[in-house]
Chain A
Amino acid sequence: MALWVEKHRPATLDKLSFHQGLSEHLKKLAGSGDLPHLLVYGPAGAGKRTRIAAVLREIYGPGAEKLRVSQRVFETPSRRKLEISFISSNYHIEVNPSDAGIYDRVVIQDLIKEVAQTQQVATTSARKFKIVVVHEADALSRDAQHALRRTMEKYMTNMRVILCSTSTGKIISPVQSRCLLVRVAAPTVDEVVDVMGQVAKKEGITIPPPLARQLAEGSKRNLHRALLMLEAAYVQQYPFAETQPVVLPEWEAYTKDIAAAALGSQTPARLMEIRKQLYEVLAHCIPPSMVLKVIALHLISEVDEALRPEVARQAAFYEHRLQIGQKAIVHLEAFIAKFMSIYKRHAMATD
C-alpha cells in the first residue's frame, strides 16, 4: 500500500499540474536531441525530482523507469572502504555523493568517470549519452565540485549531468556556468490546494476547502508534506471535519515548544532545560538549520514589534555560524542565550 504522495505522482511532463511553462520548456529540450547539463534547484517539495524523472522518461521512454539499486565499494586514498548505494536504469544513474561524507570526491571521480568513459551499448537507445543525476548537489564538498568541473566538459559526448539541489548558493560558479539553470519554485497555496483536490478525487474522498487551505499553509507550500499531512489527517479521522485541527509534523510541534519555553521564562535554569530539548531534536536527525529557522520564526511572530529586527538579525548571525561550524548544539544554545538576554532586557526596559 503506497502512500498517496507516491501513488499519484505524475510520471510524464504532460501530467504535471503546475509550472506549465517550465514543463513545456523541458519537453522541448528533451526532444531536441541534445540536452545541456542541468542544474535543477528549488525548495523541498516543489517537484524537482518529479520533473527530472519525467525528463528522463521523455528522453528514453518507459525504460528509464525500470530502476534497480546497486551498491559499490569505493576505496579512499587512506584505504578506507566506503559502501555507496545508487539507483540506476539502463540509461541513467542516480547518486547521492553526500552519503560518502568528506570522501564524496572519490565517488564523483570514480563512479561518474566510469560512466562517462563507457559508451551507450544499446543501439536501440534514443540517445548516445547516459545521464548522471547527482542528488543533494549543494552538500557536495568543494573538492568534489572541482572534480566534477572537468569531467563535465571532457566527456560531454557520453554523458550529461543533472544536478539537483535546494539552492545555487553552494554550487561553485564554474559548475554553475556549465549548466542550464532550471528553477523549480515552490507551488503557490492555490496550486497545492488544487493538487490536493485531484488526489482526493482519485482516492474518492472529499476535503472541505478550508481544511485543504490550512494543510497547504501548514506544509509551507511543500507539496510532499502537504499530501503526507493530508493522508495523516485521513488516517486520524475521516470524514473530515471543517474545523479539524491540522496536525503539524511532530518535530515541528516539539521545536515550537522550545521557542515557547524560551519566551516563557529567561533564567539559566531554563536555558539548561532548553539545551536538553535541543539535544533531543538534533539526535532525532532534524537538520539544525531547520531547528533554528522554526524557533526563530516562532520567536519573531511572538515578540514585541520593536524587538523583531534584532531577533531576526541574531538568528541570521547564528545561522551563519551554524553553517560554518561543526557542533550544532553550541550555536543553537548561543542563539537561545542571546535571545533570552535581549528579550529580558527589553521586557525590563518596557516595564
Chain B
Amino acid sequence: MFTQPTHQATAPGSMAVPEGAPGCLDGLKFVVTGEFSSMSREQITDMIRSFGGQITGSVSGRTSYLVVGDDPGSTKVKKAKAVKTRCLYESGLLALIGRSKPEQQSASATDISAETEEAQEPVSEHIAKPALKADLVPKAEPAPETGSTMEVDVPSDSVPTGDRGQAGASTSTAIPSQQSQPEAAAAVAELWTEKYKPTKLKELCGQKEHAKRLLLWLGEWASGAIPEARAVLISGPPGIGKTTTAHLVAKLAGFNVLELNASETRNKTTLKSMLGSAIGNRCVLEFDRAKVRAVERELENEQDRDVAESLRVSGMKRMVVIMDEVDGMSGGDRGGNAELIQLIKRTRVPIICICNDRQSPKVRSLAAYCEDMRFRRPTEAQMRARINTIAFRENLRVEPNAIVQLVKSTHNDIRQIINLLSSYALKNASMSYMESKAFASANRKEVAVGPFDAIQKYLNCGDNMEMSFADKIDLYYSDYSIMPLFMQENYIDSSPNGATSDLAKLEQLSKAADMIAESDVVEGRLRGSQQWGLMPLHAVLSCVGPAFHARGRRNTMIRFPGWLGQNSKGTRLARQLREVQGHMRLRMAVDKTEVRLSYVPALVPELTQPLINQGAAGIPDVVSTMDHYYLTKEHWDVIAELHMDGERILKQIPTAVKTAFTRTYNKGAHPVAFQEHGNAVPSKRAAAAALAPLNPDDEAGEDDVAQDSDTPEDDDDDTAVKPAKPAKPAAKRGKAKDATAETSQRKRRRA
C-alpha cells in the first residue's frame, strides 16, 4: 500500500532547527531536491523562505545553493554540476543558518524566549496606559455614530484578548475625543482599499494594456464619434481591479459615471427608465441649475450629432454607464439582460459591462454586442510595488517572501491582500514569511477549481508536492463524480517523477492503475448501497493515490474523460443488441452474449456477402434471411455496427445497391414477431398493406429489383409505378428518401 502520500521526514526532529538571524538568507536563491530525514520538504522550504531565501524550481546559473536530500532529482544534480552551483546537504543548510546567528543571542532557546517576553513587557504596559486613560473619557458618551465606528470594520469579537488588541481597540475609540472630529474620521473611516485606490494609470496593478485600450475607446466617444462597439465587456476573476480600472479610466477621460450594480434591481422596466433616458444623450451635469436649463434648451434644438460639441462647450462632462456584475443579473432582474442588449444597440453613451464569469450563458448573449476585454490576474511582480507602497505608508514592515506567500494564498487577489494587510496591521507592525502564511491560511480564500485545473494540480509534480494530504482530498471533493474519471483518463500520459526507465515508469503507472481499479470497487459499494462514508477512501484510491504514483512531467494536454462517450456508445449498442435478440428469440434459443459472440460474426457475412458479391441480385437472399429471424432494416444496421469490422464491410457495398436494398425492403411486407409496445394502433399504411393481396416476399423483391435496374435513379417514376401506395410524394423525393423510408417502414409493421 501507499503509506506516504506526502513527503514525510524519516526521522523527524533528529536535527535541531537553529536560531538564525532574520533575513540571513536574503538575496540567496535555493533549489530543493529530494527528501530529507529530519524535516519534510515543505518545512525545509518554509525555513528557507522565513529567513529570506528564495526558492526556484530549477537550477540555473543564478542559483546560489542546491539543497540535496535523499533520492535527489538527477537532472537538477547534473545541472548543478554543469553550472557549478554549490550543493548543500540538510546539515549544511542548518549550519549555514546557525552560523548567521548573532553572537549575543547564543544562549539556549528557552532563555531567548524568556528574554523577549521580558522585553515586551514594558512595551505592552506602555500601550495599555493611554487605553486606561481613554477609558475614562468616552465611557460617558455612546460609541460615535459617524464613520469612526465603521472604520475598524473588524468585528470586535475577532480582536484577540491580547494586550495589543486591547490597546488597538481602545485607541480607536479614544481618538475622536482627542482629535478634531472630521479629521479623525477621515483618518480612520476609510477602508484601505478605498484609501489606496489607484488615482493614476501607473498605480494600477497589471491591466495596463486594457486600461489604455479603454481610454482610447472612451476618447473616441469624447471626440463625438460612435465607435464600432458601443459597449465593452470586462471579465475576470474577483479582486483584480475591474471596477477600479473602469472608474479610473472614466475619471481620467473626463466622464461622469453612472453605475448600476447588483444592489439595484435591474429588470426590464427599471433599466429602461433609468438608462433609457440617459443613453438618449441627456447627461448628468455637474453645474448649477441655470446651466442645466440652458443646456436642456440647447439640447431640444440641436441634433444628436452636435450635442457632444455643445456639451463640451458648455463645460459639462459626458457620461459613461458602468453596468457592474452583469453576470449577477438573475431572478428578479427578469428581461434585464435582453433590455441591456437593446440599449447597447442604440446607445449614444458608452456602456461598460463588468462580469466575473465570461462563459456564463447569461453573459454570452451579451458578449456578442460588446468588445471583449479579458482581465488577467496581475502577477506577483506587478503587485509587489503597490503592496510595498501601502505597507510603507501604513508603517507596516512586510518581508518580500511574505508578499509572495500572500499573493499565492489569495490567488492574486489584490483587494484581498490589502484587506488582509489592513486587518493584520491592527495588531502587528511587521509581517514575516511564517506569519503571513499562518495569517493567510486562517483567512483562506476558497476558490472553485475546475476539473482541468484540479487534475493539473494532481499530476504536476511540483503542484502535487506542495499540497498537503488534506488539500489533495479537498481537490477530489471539488467534483467527486468527475475527478476519478479525469484521473483515469490522464494518468497514463504523465511521466512519473523519479522514474527514468520505461520499466520504472510502467511500474509506477501500474501501481496507479491498481489503485484506480480498486477505487472502482469502492465506488460500487459507495453508490450501490449508499455507503457515503466510504467517500474519503474513494478520494484516496481514485485520485490522491494514483496522483502520488503518477505525478510528474506531462507532454500532452489534459483530456476530457473518454469513458463517458465510450460508455454511452456501449450502452446504446447493448440496448440495440437486446432488441435484436428479442426479435430473433422465436427462432433461436441463445442469450444476448451468445448472439453477440457467435451469431453476429456469422450473420454479418450472411446479410452482407450477397449484396457485395451479387449486387442488387443478392437482395432477395438477404431479405429472406432477415424475415426468417424477424429482423428489420434497422436491425440490419445494428448487426453491422455490432460487428467490429462492420464499417469496412459496409463500405464494400455499393451505394446504389444499398439504396435499392432499403427501397426493396420497405416495399415488401415482412413478418413481425410481436407488436412493439406503444405502437398498438396500426397506422393507415399498415392497414393498407394488410389488405393488399398477399404475394410471397421473394416475388415482390424480384419485381422491384427488375424495375430498379431499369430506372435506377428515377425516384419520381418509382412512386408513379406504384399507385397502390398511399404515399406522400412530396416527402418521398430526392435525398429525403432514405430518411422517410425509415419512418414509413416503421408504420408498415402489421400485427
Contacts and interface: CB of A to CB of B under 8 A. Distances in A.
Contacts of A96: 591
A149 to B, nearest CB: 21
Nearest to A281: B644
A285 B577 contact: yes
B642 interface: yes
A105 interface: no
Given A326-B524, A338-B514, A70 B674 contact: yes
B367 interface: no
Interface stretch (B309-317, B568-576, B686-694): B568-576
B76 to A, nearest CB: 23
6 contacts: A3-B606, A71-B674, A85-B582, A283-B569, A284-B642, A341-B510
A250 to B, nearest CB: 5
A241 interface: no
Interface residues of A, number: 72
Interface in B553-595: 562-563, 566-567, 569-570, 573-574, 577-578, 582, 585-594
Nearest to A278: B566
Contact of B603 (A3, A49, A271, A272): A3
Contact of B502 (A266, A280, A338): A266
Contacts of A87: 585-586
B503 A345 contact: yes
Interface in B358-375: none
B677 interface: yes
A69 B590 contact: no
In order of increasing CB-CB distance, the 6 nearest A-B pairs are A228-B602, A49-B589, A334-B513, A249-B601, A69-B674, A337-B510
Contact of A228 (B493, B574, B601, B642): B601
B587 A6 contact: yes
Task: Please indicate which of the listed interface residues A5, A231, A250 has the most CB atoms of chain B within 10 Å of its own CB.
Answer: A250
B644 A254 contact: yes
A225 interface: yes
A314 to B, nearest CB: 10
Task: Please indicate which of the listed interface residues B518, B582, B597, B606 has the most CB atoms of chain A within 10 Å of its own CB.
Answer: B597
A44 to B, nearest CB: 5
Interface string A216-244: 00000010110011011001100000000
B315 to A, nearest CB: 70
Contacts, number: 191
Interface in A1-44: 1-3, 5-6, 9, 44
Contact of A71 (B506, B514, B577, B676): B676
A44 B602 contact: no
Contacts of B429: none
Interface stretch (B133-141, B438-446, B621-629): B621-629
Contact of B593 (A44, A232, A267, A283): A44
Interface in B299-335: none
Given A71-B677, A267-B506, A341-B506, A250 B566 contact: no
B429 to A, nearest CB: 54
B596 A285 contact: yes
Contacts of A344: 502-503, 506
B597 A329 contact: no
Nearest to B621: A1
A235 B612 CA distance: 12
A135 B590 CA distance: 9
Interface string B479-514: 000000000100011010000001101110110011
Size category of the binding interface on chain B: 35 or more
Contact of A235 (B506, B517, B609): B609
Contacts of A235: 605-606, 609
A344 B503 CA distance: 6
A164 to B, nearest CB: 9
Given A49-B590, A284-B573, A286-B597, A267 B562 contact: no
Interface string A308-340: 000000000010010011110111011001101
Given A285-B577, A326-B520, A249 B598 contact: yes
Nearest to B673: A69
Interface in B244-277: none
Contact of B677 (A83, A268, A272): A83
Contacts of B621: 1
B692 to A, nearest CB: 24
B287 interface: no
B495 to A, nearest CB: 7
Q: From DSSP, what is the main secondary structure of chain A's interface residues?
A: helix
A329 B493 contact: no
Given A1-B621, A284-B642, A334 B524 contact: no
A95 to B, nearest CB: 11
Given A5-B602, A96-B591, A331-B517, 19 more contacts: A1-B624, A45-B598, A85-B582, A136-B591, A224-B590, A228-B598, A229-B601, A236-B605, A251-B597, A268-B502, A284-B644, A285-B596, A321-B518, A324-B524, A326-B521, A326-B523, A331-B520, A341-B507, A344-B502
Interface in B734-749: none
Interface of A: 1-3, 5-6, 9, 44-45, 49-50, 52-53, 67-71, 73, 83, 85, 87, 96, 99, 135-136, 222, 224-225, 228-229, 231-232, 235-236, 249-251, 254, 266-268, 271-272, 275, 279-287, 290, 318, 321, 324-327, 329-331, 333-334, 337-338, 340-341, 344-345, 348
A75 B569 CA distance: 27
A224 B674 contact: no
A334 to B, nearest CB: 4
Contacts of B521: 321, 324-326
A2 B589 contact: no
B260 to A, nearest CB: 47
Contacts of B507: 341, 345
A250 B601 contact: yes
Interface in B598-654: 598-599, 601-603, 605-606, 609, 621, 624-625, 628-629, 642-645
B493 A272 contact: yes
Contacts of A337: 506, 509-510, 513-514
A69 B585 contact: yes
Contacts of B629: 2
Nearest to B582: A85
Contact of A6 (B505, B562, B574, B588): B588
A271 B502 contact: no
A136 B589 CA distance: 12
Contacts of A71: 674, 676-677
B492 A53 contact: no
Nearest to B624: A1
Nearest to A44: B594
Nearest to B641: A284
A180 to B, nearest CB: 20
Contacts of A282: 566, 570
A268 B674 contact: no
B539 interface: no
A335 B593 CA distance: 23
Task: Please indicate which of the listed interface residues A52, A73, A136, A268 has the most CB atoms of chain B within 10 Å of its own CB.
Answer: A268
A96 B579 CA distance: 13
A71 B518 CA distance: 39
